[in-house]
Chains A and B, each alone.
Chain A
Amino acid sequence: MSLLDVATLRKDFPILSRSVRDGKNLIYLDSGATSQKPTSVLDAERNFYETHNAAVHRGAHQLAEEATIAFENARANIASFIGAQTNDVVFTKNATEALNLVAYSFLNATLKSLTGAPLPAGAQRFVLAQGDEVVVTEMEHHSNLVPWQELCAKTGAVLKWLGLTDDGRLNYADLDTVITARTKVVSFTHQSNLLGTINDVAKVSAAARAVGAIVVLDACQSIPHMPVSVEKLDVDFIAWSGHKMLGPMGIGCLWGRNELLASMPPFISGGSMIETVTMEASTFAAPPQRFEAGVPMAAQAVALSAAVDYLQAIGMDKVAAHEHELTTAAIAALSEIKGVRIIGPTDSHDRGSAVSFVVDDIHPHDVGQVLDSLGIAVRVGHHCAWPVCRRYDVPATTRATFYIYNDLNDVKALAAGIKQAQEFFGSN
């Protein structure tokens, strides 16, 4: 008996009733890439455009007021979802942009310091010198790796990383050697999008704190799936995306400690983010507006707020427990199939619902194609985490991810589909 009434929940998601590939029922196991959206989220976005649409934070007509209130109420609701203060949440176009915002704060502060101009109070923490160190892990999504590589290439800082153990966990034994007195920032994922591993945030943060480094957490795969509270996590920034948590595409979030956000130079500049402007120079608004140049994605913020309401009505504890049940079942079912190897932890403690696997003698693309022919949508490839594939010496994997609208029947269908792929390609 499942913890969630999945059959009832599924009715809230119009797309789940469509068929694919010659009339097959859709079995959507790709929520790690993007989740499907309930009607309440779609309605919220449509309702904004139908009744309140205006550019927010400009204009004094009634629609502009209503749109601004709706946008800021959405921010407050989304912030409270992770126990944050409203003005410490910055809207970005996605999590990638949120992570870039932090990386570029380091670059911009460093460049500014080179001009000899005075820096805002506190901005010195973002200035990198030749030989300073940036630390990530070997399990990062490209979005939390490439921006730091670029930052290092531009500043002369050195990129270092925590390696992985054979069973798909962070190698915490390396913490003391990888994080040093030169470490200025440690950026790591809460939950691996490929391996499913949930990392020990407190352990990594403690090592970073001991050397005074700034701590950045990629929560794309955790905030949609488990209770996350900024008060309980000892980190400085949290980046996540809206579209993986039932929300619309085109919106992501960055939470930052107030004093850090206040000391950071702007990332993207233009309208909305200023305080005063003359032909010679400008001063900048306080956060979060400082980091929200241009007309923001108000309709998407309102829709993401509706997604938060939807998840809170279920309860994030229940969401996590439901996914844990499916993950445990999936690991068991896949482990029973000869020739299938899970890439990632094979025990379900501290583990999310991303289950990546390889099948002997069948390329992940081909496994995915057979599953697709059965109506089962999975992700194939390197999942924007190519170094993880290299670490485990596989060219790619097939990945199933589970969410609130999946149930044990989906796990069974996945296992049966893998066996069918083995029959089709004659590999077992």
Chain B
Amino acid sequence: MQLEQMYQEIILDHYKRPHGKGLAESFNAEVHHVNPTCGDEITLRVTRDPVDDQKLLVSYDNQGCSISQASASILFDQLNDQTLATGEQAVDHLVAMLQRVEEPNEDVLGDGIALVGVSQYPARVKCALLAWMAWKDAAIQALGQEVSTEGEK
């Protein structure tokens, strides 16, 4: 059944018990992305790691469907404390996988390969990409900015 190919157990696990949800207080960049057709939203913050400032710590808060929620949780597993290059590679591969241009690569996407079933439902691809596009936006901004905190905003 197609439905179960999209909603694999691993997706439902991430949805019900999301990893890393909750916003960090200090951050270099914050973005808010929405999917205007359905109202899914994510606020995502990126902070440069004090030990290695080329690595980016991720925090987020979001609301939306199981696919968008699970996808954000998977992103946290894969990209928290990773470099821009690593993250961009993952985003590019996720896009290619959802367009069925590339076969799922677990080394690059981890649990994200379970999102492959979404490619059968074009209307849901945006749900799967929401967090990743937000991360890319925030990561590029963060690498050009100083640390700020919520209180100073």
A contact set with B: CB distance below 8 Å: 21-22, 362-366, 369-370, 373, 380-382, 386, 389, 395-396, 424-426
Contact = CB atoms under 8 A, between A and B. Distances in A.
B134 interface: no
Given A381-B37, A386-B39, A424-B7, A395 B2 contact: no
Interface string B68-81: 01000000000000
Contacts of B124: 365, 369
Listed residue (B38, B67, B121, B124) with the most chain A CB atoms within 10 angstroms of its CB: B38
A363 B2 contact: no
Contacts of B143: none
Nearest to A373: B3
A363 B66 contact: yes
Given A373-B1, A424-B3, A366 B39 contact: no
B64 interface: yes
B39 A381 contact: yes
Contact of A369 (B37, B39, B64, B121): B121
A197 B1 CA distance: 38
Contacts of B66: 362-363, 365-366, 425
B38 A366 contact: no
Given A389-B39, A395-B39, A425-B12, A366 B65 contact: yes
Contacts of A425: 12, 66
A194 to B, nearest CB: 12
A396 B39 contact: yes
Contacts of B67: 365-366
Contacts of A424: 3, 7
B38 A382 contact: yes
Interface string B101-143: 0000000000000000000010010010000000000000000
A339 to B, nearest CB: 16
B2 A365 contact: no
Contacts of B42: none
A386 to B, nearest CB: 7
Contacts of A395: 39-41, 63-64
A425 B3 CA distance: 12
A370 B3 contact: yes
Given A365-B124, A365-B127, 5 more contacts: A22-B1, A363-B66, A365-B40, A365-B66, A380-B38
* Main SS at interface, chain A: mixed
10 contacts: A22-B1, A363-B64, A365-B38, A365-B64, A369-B121, A370-B3, A373-B2, A386-B39, A389-B39, A395-B40
B56 interface: no
Interface in B61-99: 63-67, 69
A425 B37 CA distance: 23
Contacts of A382: 38-39
Contact of B2 (A22, A364, A381, A396): A22
A365 B65 contact: yes
Contact of B65 (A363, A373, A426): A363
Contacts of B44: none
A21 B1 CA distance: 10
Contacts of A373: 1-3
A149 B109 CA distance: 44
A427 to B, nearest CB: 10
B70 to A, nearest CB: 11
Contacts of B12: 425-426
A369 B67 CA distance: 11
Q: Which 7 residue pairs of A and B lie closest in terms of their CB atoms, listed nearest first?
A: A365-B65, A363-B65, A381-B38, A373-B3, A396-B39, A382-B39, A366-B66
Contacts of B1: 22, 373
Nearest to A365: B65
A37 B69 CA distance: 37
B6 interface: yes
A362 B12 CA distance: 11
Contacts of A369: 3, 6-7, 121, 124
B10 to A, nearest CB: 15
Nearest to B4: A424
A364 B37 CA distance: 13
Nearest to A374: B3
Nearest to B35: A381
Interface string B1-45: 111001100001000000000000000000000000111110000
A401 to B, nearest CB: 18
Contacts of B127: 365
A21 B2 contact: yes
B140 to A, nearest CB: 28
A381 B65 CA distance: 10
Contacts of B39: 381-382, 386, 389, 395-396
